[in-house]
Amino acid sequence: MLQNPAVTRYFHRIFKTLCTLERVPRRCFSTKPAPQAAPQAAPATTTSTGKSPGAGGSVTERKSIIPPNYRFAYQEFLPDPKIEWRNSLREKLERKDMLDRRANIDIPEFYVGSVLAVTSSDQHAENKTARFVGICILREKAGLRHRFILRNVIDHQAIEVSYDLYDPTVHKIEVLRLEKRLDDHLIYLRDALDEYSTFDINMEPEILPEGTPVPVNDVKVVLKPHPWYARWERHNLQGVANIEEHTNERRRRKAALVATPWEKYDLMKEYRRSIPEEEQKEIFTEIYSTLHSLELQRKKMKRKRTFVKPTKLA
């Protein structure tokens, strides 16, 4: 009987693979706990992942020194999650430039809903600088392109000014009222009553005691009738009180057609929208020492401003 050489080589490879598998020790996949080996004395060392071996050779993870609020207070240090825009070298150089800029200007902690006063260069102003007071309605973009928008109503005229956080023309950023809101943005204030966006340009700063958590303002604004800047009935807004009053049945049906309530269960979509926690820890570990020293310096200056010199008794 004639033999096909290709078939012979095929069976020869299979036989060689089976012989190799016979020499591999079999693994036990039983649900019973495997017997532990006798503990061996080992020097107390710390691994590169921040874990140190404990008693019996077990590995215990050290507590992270990075505060949990860093991902919210310094969100501009996190890169854009879109994979096509990622570049590790550019992101590292940008973080270095951002830290250098923070060493020259005090950039305080603030959130959407905080009231700020920004002093920037203005060649048309009398003293070449302009100061604007307003509520922060939006923070967006990452890195050196991070920007925020302030809104205020002055003389019954709504004014919005967009600032780049690391713009060299920005001289000073003051937090007059540090607080958060119920939503990630306050763009809907464009369609709300003017009283929710009106702030005194000579507003005095409200200083919170050291160690106090950032308060959350749960006020619900009242929107004006249509037309609106956007179809707010299609957004899941927590800080608006009267959306249903201005929404008819036709708008409700259209909002129900485009609603995507299943997105909160889409883990892959959420993963693509955010930066993994391991990468966040790596980024904040890189910049923690510089940011921590700047925070200590800011707290020292804050205590100097709040200190009241006692009057000499007669």
Domain ranges of the chain: 69-303
Model pLDDT, residue 20: 59
pLDDT of residue 301: 75
Count of CA atoms in the C-beta half-sphere (13 A) of 265? 3
Query: What's the confidence (pLDDT) of residue 69?
Result: 85
Fold of 69-303: SH3 type barrels. (2.30.30)
* Token pair for 68: 């949990």
Which of 14, 90, 77 is closest to 275 using CA atoms?
Answer: 77
Q: What is the pLDDT of residue 258?
A: 92
Q: What span, in angstroms and rounded, lies between the C-alpha atoms of 152 and 131?
A: 12
pLDDT of residue 17: 65
Helix 277-306 vs helix 88-104: angle between axes, to the nearest 10 degrees?
0
Instruction: Tell me what pLDDT residue 44 has.
Output: 46
Q: From the CB of residue 2, how many other CB atoms can be counted at a distance below 10 Å?
A: 3
What is the reported pLDDT for 209? 86
Phi, psi torsion values for 307, nearest 5 degrees: -75, 130
Q: CA torsion angle for 103, 109, 110, 115 (degrees, to 10)?
A: -80
Q: What is the mean pLDDT of each run of 10 residues along the chain (314 residues)?
A: 64 66 47 50 46 50 73 92 91 95 92 96 91 96 95 96 96 95 96 96 90 92 94 93 92 93 88 90 91 83 62 54
Q: What angle do CA 297, 298, 301 make, to 5 degrees?
A: 90
pLDDT at 304: 64
How far apart are alpha carbons 114 and 102 in whole angstroms? Answer: 20
Please give the helix or strand (H or E) that residue 115 lies within, else none. strand 115-121
